[in-house]
Amino acid sequence: MPEIVCPACAAVNRVPAERPMAAARCGKCHVPLFTGEPLALDGAGFERHVARNSIPVVVDFWADWCGPCKMMAPEFRKAAQALEPAVRFAKLDTEAAPAQSAAHGIRSIPTMILFRDGRELARQSGAMPAGQIVQWVKDASRGG
């Protein structure tokens, strides 16, 4: 039974295999577990989502002042719409969460890291269009 962290209250939800993941709602706060939008995470939310989701989690490390980050944001959103609920998409502002950025060796932005079960499977730096993001996630997920 997959475990999915709620995007609103951070409760861990077990979703029965016979239920469609796309329609799953949080058992605590009742919001949809998937919206097709990347989650904006803070430091604590980052740790919880990466460690507790049993599906892969793609995190876009970005900053508000970064032009390529802003250009990639709508593409990252399109990739989330294409791959959820099989993959969770999230964004972490490197300015607001410097400890997590440093812990993961973020040297340039945007950088995407694909995590599964709390460990890094792959990383990609630089802005990419949605189609390339989707293909990168699929390829990296298979290899992990």
Q: Give the 3-state secondary structure of residue 131.
A: helix
Residue with tokens 């430091």: 43
Catalytic residue among 6, 9, 26, 66: 66
66 has catalytic annotation: yes
6 has catalytic annotation: no
Q: How far apart are CA 73 and CA 144, in angstroms?
A: 25
Burial 91-103, CB ≥16 within 10 A → b, else e? bbbbeebeebbee
Catalytic residue among 9, 26, 29, 69: 69
Residue 142 burial (CB count, 10 A): 8
Residue with tokens 């964004």: 91
The residues carrying an active-site annotation are 66, 69
